[in-house]
Structure 1
């Protein structure tokens, strides 16, 4: 198992960050990592996500939403090929801080037999994709 974890402090209230994060129709306008997300953010729903790690080709996944806690957390779990090959649980967490600011935690837990072979890409390209998304989310929330 491997986990990637990134964080960013956003000078905006959690309500605003949640609104931008869950307005998936606008992802193509600002999100450099999740190029598109189609479907309803409702527990149990299957969504379609087009991801693009930094300097890599886009890939489309069809994960299932496993947790939605308004203004707190959003999770989905997907896999490539069959279960146990390369599975990922993608997690967005929002924490209310002082002065109407928000800590955004963006992480993913990877498991499966392919993880050791993809470690370099996850540590480099995928991590940079997370960081680029975090920065764009910050800029979008702070500008509105």
Structure 2
């Protein structure tokens, strides 16, 4: 029988140029998420700075027939607050030494129409017979800061003027401004009147 001619082998497939050589061209990355995030952070920073430069201030004053020392004595007798204070129903110094001084920490409980809240401010100023001031924060400082002040001034013979005020700053403050004026400011006035009554009744 005639022999069968051998079958020719199929030619080897050569790799394509694209497969043989990796693509080293730099890929275009989407930069817009990074740009957007940077813009948002810059806007938030500017807004936070603006709120600190334009705080919301609440102020309420009352005249009391007493000496500055008598008003100061009632104002700083924190253990008696539950007996007469309709706004700041509880206050205590939580620092180890228990002294009312700059740098001391406190724990205060507030009562408002919307409910009660507790915060832990740091005392900034404690000048007997003249001024008490502390700084409270809600969350990080850029959310809400509240600098609360009591200032005692002579208003005439045997009379002093007590001014209670607070400066609120932070990114949430503009949103809450109407609520602060509607709920918190009346509580300032209520506390002032209750303190006046407490001081004047104690004198007799």
- TM-score tier (shorter): over 0.9
Q: TM-score when scaled to structure 2?
A: 0.69
Structure number having the greater strand percentage? 1
Q: Which runs of 5+ in 2 are unaligned?
A: 1-54, 94-98
Rounded Cα–Cα distance in structure 1 between residues aligned with 2:152 and 2:128:
10
Q: Which residues of structure 1 form unaligned runs of 5+?
A: none
Provide TM-score, normalisation by structure 1: 0.96
* Residue number among 69, 73, 76 corresponding to 1:15 in the alignment: 69
* 1:126-141 correspondence to structure 2 within 5 Å: 126-141=184-199
More relative contact order, 1 or 2 (CA 8 Å, 6+ apart): 1
Q: Deviation string for 1:50-95 (max 9, x for gaps)?
A: 0122x12110000100001110000000100111101100000000
User: Considering only CA atoms, is the larger Rg found in Structure 1 or Structure 2?
Assistant: 2
The whole-number CA distance in structure 2 between the counterparts of 1:19 and 1:88 is: 24
Residue 87 of structure 2 is aligned to residue 33 of structure 1: yes
Does the CA contact (< 8 Å) of 1:37 and 1:50 recur in 2? yes
Q: Which residue of 1 aligns with 2:108?
A: 49
The equivalent residue for 1:119 is: 177
